[in-house]
Structure 1
């Protein structure tokens, strides 16, 4: 059966298209495309949505025989569409047709991939070609880099060589310059020698100082480089030139100074006088001003020398210039200074001479320092520079004062001299002008030391003669009459500060001691004054004690005691303001231990040649140094305390001695009674009551109390009157009377206790002892 295929309006979509679309979707998920790429795919999908049958299967007519099948097909293409008709006669043709159709469809489905593979293959080939070209380019670049490195290395080597050559050239130039500069120092020898030995060369020449500076530089260079050949020879020649130049400077300075001195001397003669009689008004204007003007030409040369004073040669020439200057100045002023000081010595006493001489010498020294500073500004601070001038001038004053100091015996004058030198001279004037007057300080200190030495000697002599060896006159020992006469005229009632005449009423050694120490306190060194004060207080205390013993013989022991107390208190009070320790350490040599050694040697028990090695013979036979410390102030306090205690006991016994004897006897009786009872040997006398004892009957006790009351009423007021006569200070009397009062009251208390214990009321009324409150009230009224 044959069928006829008719052309269809469209062909169903092929499965390859669906697969391709699915593949694209998967690829899109794994590798997302851009919007432009996705639009391109959409366009492609629409373009291939309908595909025609393969060309080889398209037929206009396919016929078959015997039940053949005709199939009409229409093939669509991209640009056109046509109907393909095929006649399928049998099944084989159909299967063949279908197979061909299937292969065509499969071939068409794989075509785009094959095309894509071809495209990729072409691109891979292209990349391979590009990589090959890149490798070739890199090889060429590496070769070019190697060539560049070689060229750079050669260039750097050339540059380094050039730099080395430049540096070597610079070093050679510097070496040549250094060699030339070093040789210049040696070449200068001829130039400098020619100039210095020129007849026209002198210190005043404008080229002299520059040549001298160049010469110094050459010497310094040659000295610092002794390794150079012939440096020693050149140094010797340079030094010879320097010595010649410095000698020229010395001669020039001496010539100018002598010329200036001659001009000043001519001016002095023109003023109608001589060096020794020039007036004070002319002195400053002529000797200082004219000399300064005449010698002003030396200033540049001297300043140049001072600027090089770090070198020893110039130190010597500067010192020589200082000496020449001082010699010329001394020749001008020594006569005037000596004449002025001699005038002072003729007209004035020692204190006025010291004051005037020191003031004049300081004026001269200040003017000389100003003049010296004009010539030597850098050396003026050194006080030793002007010493050859200032020392002889100050010696004139010292030589004038010393003989007068040696023969001065007045301690007041010597103290005044110390005050002038310490306060007016060294204290005020030198402090205000310390730099210009420093040269006078040693001389003034020497004068002050001599004054101290003389003052110390005179003070010791005064202490020995006027205090230690003082012989008291009858008037000095006329106590208490002397105090009574003083009380009548009112001297003793006035303090020493308010009335100096009160000193005249004192015991002379005390007055002399206080007066001497008051003068010496501000005048001597502390160590010297301490020794003198200790000695003075010690001998004064001894003198007071000797006088007290004489007063005790002439008057009464109580007057002697009050005399001691009075002047011990005065002495203690007057030395209290002195801020020193009255302690002195005495050293003595003790040879007592040598006696036994000498005895052993004389007996033959020891030999000088067999002395033990462990003990040196010289050390064994050397004396021992014994030190003893004496404190005069403590000794004074001790003596005062002992005297006060003796006075207190003497007054106590004077008033209540019967009571004290009575209490002592009662105590002895009780002790004897107690001792008898212990030994079981009781005596009839011992066991009797106290009032039955012969010494303790009421009548005896009443008599005893009556004696005490009489002494209390008569003797104690006399004692108080004497105390007021000797001790004007009420507080002193109160302090001294307080233990006396205590002793008197204590004695009455002890007796009253015995009366209450041993006697009846009637017996106590017979005894009629004063009550303790009344006793105390009466004692208080006595003060």
Structure 2
């Protein structure tokens, strides 16, 4: 038991434990366990953590020994020779022994782990050493990486700085170039000035226009950049140089043109002519061909100017060149043109002068346009460029024609002039060569306007003197004899083209009206012609009506009516082709209210200075505008209709007046009878039957019927013959006679109705009325 009480450290260590530990360590080193195996070992460890009491150590009762316990144990796991034997007498010994055993076992177990821990600690130490080495290496690497980063950063900074420097260098280079490119415009001032002020510089120099173009570019640049310092000063100097250059061009152009004019004048003198007297054969060769050859050196200069015509300075110098050219050309040709036109005016009539003068001017204008196009090809389309030359030349013709036009009184000749100018010159020749002759159009239109004005005045005078104030002669009013004389030799028609003598049977104012309107229709503007036509038709209608009244007094009223119908029909027919309105609005000032206003003011009923009232001075003195519209064509129709109706009634009364009177009396009697019955105050005579009335006896009725039949047979044929004499158109006579026939038949019908109602058949047979078919046939035979 003494052994059992010894400390655990005094117990002999088991070799099996050492061998088992070494074996396990070697095993672990040579055959490391996987994670699954280690998990299985862990599970076994937990299972055997609390082991049951060994069977061989269970308590046994030893016979003969009640006061102690004898235990024999043998640890087979320690080996065959290493058994621990002990005699345990009581429980205390057992516990002591068990404690020692546990300590021994724990010591052996801890030894294994302690060795493992020591191994691990060594390895940890090794790892720590390695880690320290690695940390050192990493520190070195980090330091190296920091150094590399610093070097890279410095390198990038250097590259960026280099790039910036390169960009800045390029920018500075571009800026320097830009400054230089801008400064070169200012630097050119001295170079250009030195060149232009050089004594050898002139327009003919080949470098002149190159310098002028460079000068234009400098001016354009300086104008577009007024923000630059001293730009206004430089612009002024550039402008001065440009003015000097343009002045040189103007002087050069004038010099060449004068030289060419001098050469042409010298050639004219050498040919034996004068400035105003050149034969037509040498005119073109000298004035145009020689001038063109002499001034050919100007063409390149003028083309350069025209190519720069988009700038206002060159527009001005080009206009000056046009003016200089026209002045020199005018000095050459004006005398010749004036002489030619003067010769025409001395030899020819006004129409011939107009034709010849216009033809000659068109020839001159065309040649001048061709010559102008040679020098100014880009400006020839503008007709105003040649106006300083063409206008004075065409004015020569205008100045000669105008006095003759003012004194011309012949309307036919004026109409001929309108036709020449409007149709031949402006309509045909000028339209065919409109581009080269466009410069003549204003003057020709001015001449035409003067002719129109003169023609209008003469037409109004003609209408007033020859139509409105016409005094007819006895021959003019000799109707129907005038028609009877003409009917024996000719058949009158309403068309003057078919029969030129048709006007002989017309009343002269009608012939003058139709003739005047026919001539003026194509010569005057529509608005002017409309006014003249309205006036002419109106006064012509009035003149015919006056003549109709005179003829009615001289011959018979029927002759006056037929005369009026005849001439109004002709007038209506003749004005029908004119596509115009014959209505004119007249405006007149009416002061009729002025007297009443003044009376009220004098009586004190109104104030003269009351501007707010209608009776104020302004309103009192303001006239009223009265408008009235007169339609000559409608008035003509109205007069014609009234005359026809008058004629129809006159013929009707001439034939059936007895019947009309009879029917009127019968109607009066019936009205009286009807009125008497209502008033019970009727005369006894009125109560008798119609056939018992004194005026309506069968004998009286038979007498009036006989008179009507006699009138139809005796009076109506002369009327129809007179109608045929005045109205040659059968359809016109039929239209005019149809209402007469209707009235005659209607009168017979009314009488027949009364006879059937009031008279017996025997009385009707005594009266012997003509039947309606016989009456119709008798009237139709008259046509």
Q: Which residue of 2 aligns with 1:299?
A: 299
Write the mapping of 1:411-490 to structure 2, written as runs, cut at 5 A.
411-490=411-490
Q: 1:659 to 1:182 in 2, by over 3 A?
A: same
Q: Which residue of 2 aligns with 1:706?
A: 706
2 CA distance for matches of 1:145 and 1:436?
Answer: 94
Q: Which residue of 2 aligns with 1:290?
A: 290
Q: 1:751 to 1:189 in 2, by over 3 A?
A: same
**Deviation of residue 526 (structure 1)?**
0.4
Q: Which residue of 2 aligns with 1:225?
A: 225
**Deviation of residue 267 (structure 1)?**
1.2
Q: 1:387 to 1:615 in 2, by over 3 A?
A: farther
**Deviation of residue 643 (structure 1)?**
0.2
SS at match of 2:629: strand
1 CA distance for matches of 2:372 and 2:536?
Answer: 51
Q: Which residue of 1 aligns with 2:14?
A: none
Greater shift after overlay, 585-594 or 146-155?
146-155
Cα displacement string for residues 739-779 of structure 1 (whole angstroms, at most 9, x for unaligned residues): 11000000000000000111111111111110011101111
**Deviation of residue 606 (structure 1)?**
3.1
1 CA distance for matches of 2:598 and 2:160?
Answer: 102
1:735 correspondence with 2:735: yes
Q: Which residue of 2 aligns with 1:409?
A: 409
**Deviation of residue 326 (structure 1)?**
0.7
2 CA distance for matches of 1:492 and 1:203?
Answer: 82
Q: Which residue of 2 aligns with 1:640?
A: 640
The answer on whether the counterparts of 2:509 and 2:543 sit within 8 Å (CA) in structure 1 is yes
Q: Which residue of 2 aligns with 1:374?
A: 374
Q: Which residue of 1 aligns with 2:166?
A: 166
**Deviation of residue 261 (structure 1)?**
0.1
Q: 1:153 to 1:312 in 2, by over 3 A?
A: same
Q: Which residue of 2 aligns with 1:33?
A: none
SS at match of 1:685: helix
2 CA distance for matches of 1:283 and 1:152?
Answer: 97
Cα displacement string for residues 524-549 of structure 1 (whole angstroms, at most 9, x for unaligned residues): 00000000000000000000000000
The answer on whether the counterparts of 1:655 and 1:716 sit within 8 Å (CA) in structure 2 is yes
The answer on whether the counterparts of 2:552 and 2:559 sit within 8 Å (CA) in structure 1 is yes
1 CA distance for matches of 2:204 and 2:331?
Answer: 26
Cα displacement string for residues 503-527 of structure 1 (whole angstroms, at most 9, x for unaligned residues): 1221100000000000000000000
The answer on whether the counterparts of 2:365 and 2:437 sit within 8 Å (CA) in structure 1 is yes
Q: 1:150 to 1:496 in 2, by over 3 A?
A: farther
Number of equivalenced pairs: 647
Greater shift after overlay, 638-647 or 289-298?
289-298
SS at match of 2:472: coil
Q: 1:358 to 1:679 in 2, by over 3 A?
A: same
Q: 1:493 to 1:638 in 2, by over 3 A?
A: closer
Q: Which residue of 2 aligns with 1:744?
A: 744
2 CA distance for matches of 1:531 and 1:687?
Answer: 66
Greater shift after overlay, 334-343 or 237-246?
237-246
1 CA distance for matches of 2:159 and 2:424?
Answer: 86
Q: Which residue of 2 aligns with 1:253?
A: 253
Greater shift after overlay, 223-232 or 662-671?
223-232
Question: Superposition RMSD on alpha carbons, in Å?
Answer: 2.2
Cα displacement string for residues 179-232 of structure 1 (whole angstroms, at most 9, x for unaligned residues): 111111111111111111111111111111111111111111112112111112
Q: 1:682 to 1:608 in 2, by over 3 A?
A: closer
2 CA distance for matches of 1:692 and 1:739?
Answer: 34
**Deviation of residue 722 (structure 1)?**
0.5
2 CA distance for matches of 1:692 and 1:614?
Answer: 73
Q: 1:180 to 1:458 in 2, by over 3 A?
A: same
The answer on whether the counterparts of 2:493 and 2:499 sit within 8 Å (CA) in structure 1 is no
Greater shift after overlay, 311-320 or 487-496?
487-496
The answer on whether the counterparts of 1:203 and 1:252 sit within 8 Å (CA) in structure 2 is yes
1 CA distance for matches of 2:702 and 2:316?
Answer: 108
Greater shift after overlay, 500-509 or 327-336?
500-509
Q: Which residue of 1 aligns with 2:593?
A: 593
Write the mapping of 1:227-246 to structure 2, written as runs, cut at 5 A.
227-246=227-246
Q: Which residue of 2 aligns with 1:662?
A: 662
Q: Which residue of 2 aligns with 1:205?
A: 205
Q: 1:146 to 1:515 in 2, by over 3 A?
A: farther
Q: Which residue of 2 aligns with 1:653?
A: 653
Write the mapping of 1:297-336 to structure 2, written as runs, cut at 5 A.
297-336=297-336
Q: 1:235 to 1:614 in 2, by over 3 A?
A: farther
SS at match of 1:278: coil
Q: 1:548 to 1:613 in 2, by over 3 A?
A: closer
**Deviation of residue 285 (structure 1)?**
1.2
> Where in structure 2 are there 5+ consecutive unaligned residues?
1-133
SS at match of 2:476: coil
Q: 1:146 to 1:695 in 2, by over 3 A?
A: farther
Greater shift after overlay, 651-660 or 358-367?
358-367
Q: Which residue of 2 aligns with 1:550?
A: 550
The answer on whether the counterparts of 2:610 and 2:617 sit within 8 Å (CA) in structure 1 is no
**Deviation of residue 169 (structure 1)?**
2.3
2 CA distance for matches of 1:146 and 1:642?
Answer: 132
Cα displacement string for residues 439-493 of structure 1 (whole angstroms, at most 9, x for unaligned residues): 1111011000000000000000000111011111111111111100010011425
Cα displacement string for residues 549-596 of structure 1 (whole angstroms, at most 9, x for unaligned residues): 000000000000000000000000000000000011111111111111
**Deviation of residue 502 (structure 1)?**
0.8
2 CA distance for matches of 1:149 and 1:429?
Answer: 98
**Deviation of residue 615 (structure 1)?**
7.6
Greater shift after overlay, 521-530 or 307-316?
307-316
> Where in structure 1 are there 5+ consecutive unaligned residues?
1-135
Q: 1:150 to 1:744 in 2, by over 3 A?
A: farther
2 CA distance for matches of 1:325 and 1:780?
Answer: 86
Greater shift after overlay, 422-431 or 161-170?
161-170
SS at match of 2:687: coil
**Deviation of residue 681 (structure 1)?**
2.5
The answer on whether the counterparts of 1:487 and 1:493 sit within 8 Å (CA) in structure 2 is no
Q: Which residue of 1 aligns with 2:532?
A: 532
Q: Which residue of 1 aligns with 2:345?
A: 345
2 CA distance for matches of 1:494 and 1:243?
Answer: 77
- Please give the TM-score of this superposition, normalised by the length of structure 1: 0.80
2 CA distance for matches of 1:490 and 1:215?
Answer: 90
2 CA distance for matches of 1:153 and 1:601?
Answer: 112
The answer on whether the counterparts of 2:606 and 2:615 sit within 8 Å (CA) in structure 1 is no
- Please give the TM-score of this superposition, normalised by the length of structure 2: 0.80
Cα displacement string for residues 395-440 of structure 1 (whole angstroms, at most 9, x for unaligned residues): 1010010000001111111001111111111111111111111111
1:780 correspondence with 2:774: no
Greater shift after overlay, 311-320 or 510-519?
311-320
**Deviation of residue 146 (structure 1)?**
11
**Deviation of residue 620 (structure 1)?**
4.1
**Deviation of residue 152 (structure 1)?**
8.2
The answer on whether the counterparts of 1:491 and 1:501 sit within 8 Å (CA) in structure 2 is no
**Deviation of residue 732 (structure 1)?**
0.4
1:573 correspondence with 2:570: no
Q: 1:544 to 1:153 in 2, by over 3 A?
A: farther
